[in-house]
Amino acid sequence: MPNLYSPRKFNMFGFTKEIKVLRDDFIQSHTELDIPFENVNFYTCIDFNQNTCIKLGTDENEIYGAIRMSDYNFRGVDYKMVERVCTIEKHRGKGIMKLLYSHCIENGFNLLSDSTHTTFGSKDFWIKAKRYFPEKNMYMVNLESEYKRLYDSQEEYKIWGKEQDYDFDLLEKEDKLALLDSLYDGKQLSEPQWNYFKTNIENLSDKNNIRLTIE
């Protein structure tokens, strides 16, 4: 799955702005889930790229969180590939991402992760997903080789990696560690990203073709 990035890399403001522009296209979704916020509901629409968008918010266009998914078929199974998901900063820590994924599952979607994960962020959600959805199966898949194995049987370094960078990849181990420290000191790496890269320095590789599924 994904290669790991710092949350600073992505412009969540731009994504939420795109969701707000679609205000008139959203239709309130039925749900049996318990939403612990007053006057907050799920809304769904199909955007101009035929992506499925779901937001959690109010009918006044206040957004708590949102998710955008594209259609993807893997080995004959239809999935919704998560293209972007976010929680508005003031609502972080309130279980918004879990609610969004729960509503996707409630709608019968098989879910496929994208190729980029943040930590803190989406990586941390996927680690907890098996506990959140014990009735579901989770797999690690390789989109190129079509390899598919149960998530529980895989070591962490086989799932998450670092974007390919020849200048980094060709360095000796000690030089790699020194560069990671420099990038962390310069705030180009988040602390959990830095710790993960250092812990897995011997097995660090590009995982762009690796994804996780909930199905």
As a whole number of angstroms, the distance between CA 105 and CA 100 comes to 9
As a whole number of angstroms, the distance between CA 213 and CA 3 comes to 16
* pLDDT number for residue 5: 55
Looking at residue 30, its amino acid is H
Residues of the chain short of pLDDT 50, as ranges, are 1, 6
Task: Find the length of the chain.
Answer: 215
Q: Tokens representing 49?
A: 């790229």
* pLDDT number for residue 9: 54
* pLDDT number for residue 89: 83
Answer whether 65's CB lies under 8 Å from 82's CB: no
Q: Where are the domains of the chain?
A: 3-163+208-214
HEC per residue, 135-179: CCCEEEEECCCCCEEEHHHCCHHHCCECCCCHHHHCCCHHHHHHH
* pLDDT number for residue 138: 95
The CATH architecture assigned to 3-163+208-214 reads 3-Layer(aba) Sandwich (3.40)
CA angle (130, 134, 135) in 5-degree steps: 130
Answer whether 103's CB lies under 8 Å from 92's CB: no
CB-based contacts of 59, cutoff 8 Å, min separation 6: 28, 39, 41
Q: What CA dihedral angle connects 93, 60, 106 and 73, to 10 degrees?
A: -100
CB-based contacts of 22, cutoff 8 Å, min separation 6: 45, 47, 53
